[in-house]
Structure 1
Amino acid sequence: MGLLTQGSPLNWENTKKYADYIRSHGIIQFINIYNNLKDRQKDVLKWGDEVEYMLVELDDKDEKVQLVLNGDEVLDTLQGQGEKINPNHPTLWRPEYGSYMIEGTPGQPYGGTMSEFNTVESNMGKRRREASSVLNQNEILCTITSFPRLGCPGFTKPEYPPTPFESGASKSLFFPDEAINHHPRFSTLTRNIRHRRGEKVAINVPIFKDKCTPSPFVETFPEDDGESARAALPDHIYMDCMGFGMGNCCLQVTFQACSIDEARYLYDQLATFCPIVMALSAASPFYRGHVSDIDCRWGVISASVDDRTQEERGLKPLKNDKYRIFKSRYDSIDSYLSNCGNKYNDIDLTIDEDIYNQLLGAGIDKLLAQHIAHLFIRDPLCVYEEKLQQDDENESDHFENIQSTNWQTMRFKPPPPNSDIGWRVEFRPMEVQLTDFENAAYVVFVVLLTRVILSYKLDFLIPLSKVDENLKMAQKRNAVKDGMFYFRKDIFKGCNPGLDGTSSAQNGLETDGANEEYTLMSIDTIINGQEGVFQGLIPILNCYLENMEVDVDTRCTILNYLKLIKKRASGELMTMAKWMREFVAKHPEYKQDSVISDKINYDLFVKFDRIARGQEQCPELIGNPVNKVK
């Protein structure tokens, strides 16, 4: 979860005093990194995945599930048994936002050989077994995107009441501060987002209207001082703090490119896939004990960290703030970085003009300068007193302070100073899946896409405004089957890096998708192809594999993963979100009122655990994959 520094974090008033100072030195640090490393070439293509886990207790007596708030202890034990005694340990463990969460990664990044695709699932299995082995009786490790009863009374173990009127971090009506990780970064982010915004964050998710769901669906909040009643919308599930977003789990992949130019190219190309893979991995239909009308967490997490003031959101005229800011700091990207993408940059980009000119003056090109100048319209949120004074030639904490709190679908990551790490990009939109097999399949699918993009010099770029429309579509219920997504028709033309980028991306763009470069497609067409429309990503990946030297076992593994993706796209297999909806709909205790009771939640998690451990098959979700030895 970004920059984890030890020290004494400042409150918002003091953080605000240093905001310009941190921005100024952050830009100097970036310029130094760029000038020192812009010509760095031939870094090895490396990559790695991050899986976030929830710690859960199954109370078999009362048939109840709770999130266990002992992530710190579990993390200390895992690190003590692993990396602290063996720097080459095959797994690494890190904290996450919730005190019921941990994050696991491979001990070392994967490299460029095809055979490494055959080790991803086994490493994930190693992580699951390793963490499960240190849990208490009745506790289980779950890869679930959103805990269905997060924020319901008694959802934590031990149970703590929310403290909306005390001087805590969130002041939530539903989410106790004890559920936030004890590292000072996390509570400081929570508190400072609220203070900067001037009010609590407001998350409103449309409720799924079942036969017996009240219409209109309106909640009352007995502990409310009036703020939540004003913020909550009818027919929506209301949530009021960072924990409802950052307390969800996800699956991410980071790639090291061979050079800065390759990283920028990958960043742009993968950005167009973010909505597609989000819809394919949809796994979070339930919020605060209710069935929602969305399938993905993205909008929830975006609203949960939206620190924009009313002026910045356009609700009041600008008086005390500098900018009208159109998105939360957790959202989709706002500009492509490569020359190929320049003509498709059709979104209004709010930038800090002074920083932009400073970057141009330092020799940084327009596209990268505007990207950084856009990130730096944000304030720092978590500043440590001990880290104010830095050596800008050899440190980058001030840059990372703002870079790491711009949580976008893609992240462009410069190398840390004085390290052997290269230019990287991070692919961030995926929902975590129930089993190691599924998570490995999605990771391998995305990594293979990068290989094909680089090998065949493919071009998937479309206007960025259309990518934003795709992202909204991706979060809708059953978008993988019902949604239509803008996608490029001819991906083999390749871009012309010689374009001066001055042509408007608006020229000749029709809103119905009837454009010569792109059109509306179903995910089935994008992934599996449709004659006369698009050849499909899976056939392209299969062609790539046929031309590569791949051992039989690895080829079998990859094809097994691609089969899952193919069948999820066609609807032959359900997404996790659809499977969860059907489980609840068929549960004998479900009253068709959009409410998920403790008993329904308990039965759901018993099923989760049995499937994840391989004790029960689930062919409608996973198919019948060839079992791997883990």
Structure 2
Amino acid sequence: MGLLTEGSPLSWEETKAYADHVRQHGVIQFLKQYNKLKERTKDCLYWGDEVEYMLVKFDHQNKKAVLLLHGSEVLHKLQQQQKEHSQDQLTTWHPEYAAYMVEGTPGKPYGGMMAHFNLVESNMRQRRKEIQAVLGTDTTPMTLTSFPRTGCPAFTFPVCVPTPNEGASQSLFFPDSVIFPDHPRFRTLSRNIRERRGEKVAINIPIYKDINTKSPFTEDFSVLGDDGEAQRAALPDHIYMDCMGFGMGCCCLQMTFQACNITEARNLYDQLTPLCPIMLALTAASPIYRGYLADLDTRWRVISQSVDDRTREERGLEPLKKDKFVINKSRYDSVDSYLSASACSDIKLVYDKDIYHQLIKGGVDDLLAKHIAHLFIRDPISLFSEKIHQNDDEDTDHFENIQSTNWQTMRFKPPPPNSKIGWRVEFRPMEVQLTDFENAAYTVFLVLLTRVILTFQLNFLIPLSKVDENLATAFKKDAIREGKFYFRKDILTECSPPEASKCVSSCLPGERLCCGNGQDLYMQMSINEIINGKEDFPGLVPLIYKYMDNAEFDVDTRCTITQYLTLISRRAAGTLKTTARWMRDFVQNHPDYKNDSVVNETINYDLLLECAKISSGEMKYPDLVPVTSSKTSNNIPDAVSKVNNYLDSKSKNLQNSH
């Protein structure tokens, strides 16, 4: 969730009065850390995952499934156990936005040993086991991206009532008492986002139009106490939601990678950015909102709109008078600039020029200075009285205040002060899956991709405008089978052939990674082609197999990874369903479904009960998760042969050591 500062939260008006103070000292804090640590090197390639869980309570007698608001008690017990086993702790626990959520991470980061890939799934199983052990009967920790009936009447236990005319959210659907109670940050963010925006956030998600869905689909919110704001904000044929909880109450799977040095971290940040839409579509797991089937499969648009605190001036709806910038995106959105390739950063970057010049004067290069100055066009939206005045030589809370509330697909993370932690990047778009096997598979796949990128010096960069187009495609229903995504044609050379000579003579070093935005740089491919390859493209999974051939993997680890890559490969090919597609099919085939887009309590109960059985391994769905076997081969020799042929055709010498 980001920075969790303890203390007394300020009102929005008080926070706004200190906004320039926070920005000023946040930049100073960054500069001090940057200049102190920019030469730091030889850090280990550590990595780790974050999995968020929902606590779901089943009422089997009445066939209801609701969210249990006992996250605080569960977290307290888990953290107490964590303290008692601090010497050999396997897990670490953190609060999350909603009172029905907890977040679990490994007790220690994983490192460079190949055997660590065998630990990921068992650690995830341990986390689920620890939560289950402190829960009561008929309650299950579930890795759901989105609870299907969030915002419907009585969707929690105990039952809570919304307060549309008072409180932090003032939502028609999402009660303030559903927000995690023990830390003031979450409620403060909800209140300040609404107050800064000048109105409630407006989340509009296209509804899936089935044969009996009302057309146009509209709702009457006056019965819920709407004063007309919701009726004006809600779009026809869309599912309307109105507060931060609908987005931040979703769960996800995130990854953090520590690099050897700042240069490597910047390279990983850039190379992983074009993969964000691909991985979002590949992990799609959230097709239902507020009890309705949506015409998209992922949470990203929901969460982006749920924290959009831009004023009308900043959204370009009114001329700038009080505000400084027209800002193109929400705080929760896609990356707007690369850190090592200006030629591919073809989106007009809005940044604070005064802060930019301050950073340049302080020794920061152009691209990184623009990145930070872009983040700092935002106001702090949560500030604590105890943290207003800080020691800029030792503290970084003002920098992290703004850094941690820019929730982009990728995050570049400087080392914390007085820490052994190095330069890191965070990969943020993936949706969480139902089983530990799936979550481990995506985790290991992404870690191996970082190793392939660094070892083979791959280049995935395409213009950021095309990455944004890919993200819009990734939202869509069944994008994994039906979508086409822009991807770089030649991932083994810095420039496309027609531009190579120009690059050497006239491009800056960073620009050689991309070299313009001509159409010969990229082509549209299906996710199957990107992941599994085609005649003129090697595919990411075959590249990983090639990497494993060149590295020292023991037999057991190689078998584990092969099972994971089989899942990824078959999902990409469409022979295994995404969680979103499986859920959608389950609903549409349910005997109670009326072909009207409505997911009622009975359907919701049956769906979640089946999800719980899948998570525990009690129920098998071979079209969703393959039955694993240590003898899985997945045509590895064919995959490696495909890559070798591609490499030979490029006549490129691989560097096989990092």
Q: TM-score, normalised by structure 2?
A: 0.93
Q: Which aligned pairs between 1:139-538 and structure 2 lie closer than 5 A?
A: 139-166=139-166, 168-182=167-181, 183-221=183-221, 222=223, 223-338=225-340, 341-494=341-494, 499-500=507-508, 509=518, 515-532=519-536, 534-538=537-541
Mapped partners of 1:502, 1:113: distance in 2? 34
Q: Secondary structure at the match of 2:507?
A: coil
Q: Deviations over 1:541-561 (max 9, x none)?
A: 111111111111100000000
Mapped partners of 1:12, 1:588: distance in 2? 49
Aligned to 1:571: 574
Mapped partners of 2:128, 2:315: distance in 1? 42
Aligned to 2:650: none
Mapped partners of 1:553, 1:85: distance in 2? 29
Aligned to 2:655: none
Q: Secondary structure at the match of 1:431?
A: coil
> Which residue identity is paired with 2:523?
T
Q: Secondary structure at the match of 1:83?
A: helix
Q: 1:396 to 1:599 in 2, by over 3 A?
A: same
Q: Secondary structure at the match of 2:520?
A: coil
Contact 1:202 1:304 in 2 (8 A): yes
CA positional deviation for 1:572: 0.3
Q: Secondary structure at the match of 1:440?
A: helix
Tell me which stretches of 4 or more aligned residues in structure 1 moved more than 4 Å: 495-498, 501-508
Q: Deviations over 1:465-502 (max 9, x none)?
A: 00000000001000000000000011011367993267
Contact 2:244 2:306 in 1 (8 A): yes
> Which residue identity is paired with 2:245?
G
Mapped partners of 2:374, 2:538: distance in 1? 36
Mapped partners of 2:511, 2:230: distance in 1? 47
Mapped partners of 1:351, 1:81: distance in 2? 45
Aligned to 1:61: 61
Q: Deviations over 1:157-177 (max 9, x none)?
A: 0001100012x0100000000
Mapped partners of 1:627, 1:474: distance in 2? 32
CA positional deviation for 1:86: 1.8
Q: Secondary structure at the match of 2:524?
A: strand
Mapped partners of 2:314, 2:323: distance in 1? 7
> Which residue identity is paired with 1:283?
A
Q: Deviations over 1:286-308 (max 9, x none)?
A: 00000000000001000000000
Q: 1:507 to 1:36 in 2, by over 3 A?
A: closer
Contact 1:88 1:108 in 2 (8 A): no
Q: 1:70 to 1:480 in 2, by over 3 A?
A: same
Unaligned runs of 5+ in 2: 496-502, 632-658
CA positional deviation for 1:623: 1.4
Aligned to 2:558: 555
Q: Deviations over 1:126-161 (max 9, x none)?
A: 000011010011110000000000000000100011
Mapped partners of 1:583, 1:188: distance in 2? 38
- The yes-or-no answer on 1:586 pairing with 2:589 is yes
Mapped partners of 1:441, 1:373: distance in 2? 36
Contact 1:83 1:92 in 2 (8 A): no
Mapped partners of 1:158, 1:180: distance in 2? 13
Contact 1:346 1:504 in 2 (8 A): no
> Which residue identity is paired with 1:499?
C
Contact 1:346 1:506 in 2 (8 A): no
- Percent identical pairs in the alignment equals 63
Mapped partners of 1:321, 1:394: distance in 2? 32
Mapped partners of 2:84, 2:376: distance in 1? 36
Q: Secondary structure at the match of 2:246?
A: helix
Contact 2:507 2:515 in 1 (8 A): no
Mapped partners of 1:567, 1:32: distance in 2? 48
CA positional deviation for 1:87: 4.3
Q: 1:141 to 1:118 in 2, by over 3 A?
A: same
> Which residue identity is paired with 1:530?
K
Q: Which moved more, 1:83-92 or 1:544-553?
A: 83-92
Count, aligned residues: 619
CA positional deviation for 1:505: 8.1
Q: Deviations over 1:274-329 (max 9, x none)?
A: 00000000000000000000000001000000000000000000011000000000
Q: Secondary structure at the match of 2:558?
A: helix
Contact 2:532 2:569 in 1 (8 A): yes
CA positional deviation for 1:503: 9.6
Q: Secondary structure at the match of 1:473?
A: helix
Mapped partners of 1:279, 1:383: distance in 2? 35
Q: TM-score, normalised by structure 1?
A: 0.97
Q: 1:39 to 1:503 in 2, by over 3 A?
A: closer
Q: Secondary structure at the match of 2:270?
A: helix
> Which residue identity is paired with 1:262?
E
Aligned to 1:108: 108
CA positional deviation for 1:624: 1.3
CA positional deviation for 1:85: 4.5
Q: Deviations over 1:587-628 (max 9, x none)?
A: 000000000000000001110111111111110100111389
Q: Which aligned pairs between 1:44-83 and structure 2 lie closer than 5 A?
A: 44-83=44-83
Aligned to 2:616: 613
CA positional deviation for 1:389: 1.2
Mapped partners of 1:607, 1:144: distance in 2? 12
Contact 2:253 2:430 in 1 (8 A): yes
> Which residue identity is paired with 1:536?
G
> Which residue identity is paired with 2:233?
A
Q: Which moved more, 1:94-103 or 1:487-496?
A: 487-496
> Which residue identity is paired with 2:259?
A
Mapped partners of 1:242, 1:617: distance in 2? 35
CA positional deviation for 1:506: 9.8
Aligned to 1:512: none
Mapped partners of 1:136, 1:619: distance in 2? 30
> Which residue identity is paired with 1:331?
D
> Which residue identity is paired with 2:326?
R
